[in-house]
Amino acid sequence: MTEITAALVKELRERTGVGMMDCKKALTETGGDLEGAVDWLRREGIATASKKAGRVAAEGLVGALVDGGRGVVVEVNSETDFVARNETFQEFVNTVGGLALEAGGDMDALRAAAYPGFDGTVGEKLTDLIASIGENLQLRRAQGLSVENGLVATYTHNAAAPGLGTIGVLVALESAADATKLAALGKQLAMHVAAASPQALSVEALDPDLLARERSVLSDQARSSGKPEDIVEKMVEGRLRKFYEEVALLEQIYVVDGETRVAKVVEDAAKDLGEEIRLSGFVRFALGEGVGRD
């Protein structure tokens, strides 16, 4: 009987795309015979991950997890929304969220991290899940936020389970204010981000190319009115201010009251709590955004 080594298991995984545990079982059943193990997997009807890899995965779950001054959002995709209700899949997303928190959102480190209770990495565990669940699954992205003094608040929209949903948001607040009151403000701001979908924290943080394109379009529209150039410039600046209100978080109108700028909301909260508050960053993941579904 051939010794079933890690190298042999790896070779079988690379040839078939099947999860590590199934590869070990196949080699055990065939006494370490590699070709026999390939045939055994075929006879058992275990679908390969490689066959599923080309199928579009735009459903799944976004997980948001915070621990005081740290937070992370992860997205794990599946082919159907049915999988999002699978407890095994939910457990995987939760576990990956905890590991991503330790990895600071670094995807390479996350994929290579040891998966708790499993003899392998996160990437290898994902391959096993593909085989057991029967769908293409993708660990798509992760991003973290942290503060030195204050907290990171979170909000999950359309929650399938605590901390798991279709939109996950983090909001970073730098402050020495009362943690409970600061957390309440943070959650409301995170709900605003989920609803308003800002593209950047401030006007200064907006992509210069985006601003240049917007200014060009607005200038062309204004000039078509036939007004003098000095009037055109004023029209463009006015329309740009409206654009800023749509895309820059601090310039947006707070969805909670429909009239106050977010920057003013933070300023007023600082006065009420008697401590400076700085909204230093946010992350917003919406499930499947940018993934082709055709």
Q: Is the pLDDT of residue 55 over 90?
A: no
Q: What is the pLDDT of residue 3?
A: 84
Render pLDDT for 63-101 as a digit per residue (tens, 0 to 9).
Answer: 999 998 999 999 999 988 889 999 999 999 999 999 999
Residue with tokens 């030195």: 148
Query: Reading across the β-sheet that carries 277-286, which strands appear in turn?
Result: 150-157, 167-175, 277-286
pTM of the predicted structure, to 2 decimals: 0.78
Q: What is the pLDDT of residue 1?
A: 64
Render pLDDT for 33-54 as a digit per residue (tens, 0 to 9).
Answer: 888 887 787 666 554 544 555 5
Answer whether 83's CB lies under 8 Å from 72's CB.
no
- Measure the CA–CA gap between 145 and 281, rounded to whole angstroms: 7
- Measure the CA–CA gap between 4 and 24, rounded to whole angstroms: 8
Q: Which of 165, 225, 163, 154 is nearest to 191 (CA)?
A: 154
Per DSSP, the three-state class of 62 is strand
Residue 43 half-sphere exposure toward CB, CA atoms < 13 A: 9
Structure tokens at 186: 């943070």
Q: What is the pLDDT of residue 261?
A: 96
Per DSSP, the three-state class of 154 is strand
Which of 47-51, 209-213, 277-281 shows the lowest mean pLDDT across its residues? Answer: 47-51
Q: What is the pLDDT of residue 191?
A: 97
Distances (CA, A) of 171 to 72, 93, 205, 215, 285: 10, 20, 16, 29, 12
Q: Is the pLDDT of residue 244 over 50?
A: yes
- Residue 166: pLDDT band (50, 70, 90) is very high
Q: What is the pLDDT of residue 12?
A: 81
Which of 101-115, 130-144, 150-164, 274-288 shows the lowest mean pLDDT across its residues? Answer: 130-144
Q: How much of the chain exceeds pLDDT 90, in percent? A: 55
pLDDT, averaged across the chain? 88
Q: What is the pLDDT of residue 193?
A: 97
- Residue 292: pLDDT band (50, 70, 90) is low
Q: What is the pLDDT of residue 228?
A: 76
Q: What is the pLDDT of residue 47?
A: 44
All domains of the chain in start order, with CATH? 6-46 (1.10.8.10), 59-200+274-286 (3.30.479.20)
Mean of pLDDT values over 148-177: 96
Beta-carbon contacts of residue 57 (< 8 Å; ≥ 6 apart): 77, 78, 79, 135, 136, 137, 138, 291
Beta-carbon contacts of residue 160 (< 8 Å; ≥ 6 apart): 61, 84, 85, 90
- Full DSSP string of 65-133: EEETTEEEEEEEEESSTTGGG-HHHHHHHHHHHHHHHHHTT-HHHHHHSBPTTSSSBHHHHHHHHHHHH
